[in-house]
Chain A
Amino acid sequence: DTAVSQTPKYLVTQMGNDKSIKCEQNLGHDTMYWYKQDSKKFLKIMFSYNNKELIINETVPNRFSPKSPDKAHLNLHINSLELGDSAVYFCASSSTGEGGYTFGSGTRLTVV
């Protein structure tokens, strides 16, 4: 059983389009995250969400919005895609105060 699963694995789209990436965790964790990994492999947090509170990294453009239908899912919607959005996006989850962050296998987004 995959602990944190995200789809799709690859996404190629044109500039200006709107796209979504889905994430699900079956670990019973109470907090989920989205991270962006750029071409230099640097991992940076974009959002964290724990059903009560959404924390947004101030550097994230408002074209990016997380949506959580329930505790086990955190989807990422991106509007008006730009070339600079090309990266690998990772979903992760954890239990508050326990550490043990678990990552999904990533979605490689390519904007052309």
Chain B
Amino acid sequence: GENVEQHPSTLSVQEGDSAVIKCTYSDSASNYFPWYKQELGKGPQLIIDIRSNVGEKKDQRIAVTLNKTAKHFSLHITETQPEDSAVYFCAASSGGGADGLTFGKGTHLIIQP
């Protein structure tokens, strides 16, 4: 089955700086890669996703890059703000609904004022 590794487990950055979180996956059949943000006491919320036929996707301050050959994908957050503080999860799926998502172990992002 799929295995997703995520690094780092904790990331502390100064407000206004950029943050990068990296993930690798093992199953070459995976073709859908979402990123979720989880705030304390809440469920994971989708913030951006990318499919295997695309190398990069941007949405305002958030971007995701995918290297299919190397089987890794990254989340980039620019101009970080205090409200970006949360736990971020990467995930991978082969796209068939019944397979669900395989998650990384999460990154606790701390934005220092």
Residues of A that sit less than 8 Å from B by CB: 4, 30-31, 33, 35, 40-45, 48, 50, 53, 55, 90, 92, 94-106
Contacts and interface: CB of A to CB of B under 8 A. Distances in A.
Contacts of B43: 4, 90, 103-106
A23 B91 CA distance: 22
Contacts of B96: 96-97
A10 B36 CA distance: 23
A25 to B, nearest CB: 12
Given A45-B102, A99-B34, A94 B97 contact: yes
Interface of B: 32, 34, 36, 38, 41-46, 49, 51, 87, 89, 93, 95-103, 105-106
- Taking chain A's interface residues, is the majority helix, strand, or loop, or is none over half, making it mixed? strand
A8 B101 CA distance: 24
Given A99-B51, A101-B46, A104-B43, A43 B95 contact: no
A56 B44 CA distance: 22
B97 A45 contact: no
Contacts of B87: 41
Given A43-B89, A100-B49, A95 B100 contact: no
Given A41-B38, A43-B106, A99-B93, 12 more contacts: A30-B97, A35-B100, A41-B105, A41-B106, A42-B103, A43-B89, A44-B103, A53-B98, A98-B97, A100-B34, A102-B46, A105-B43
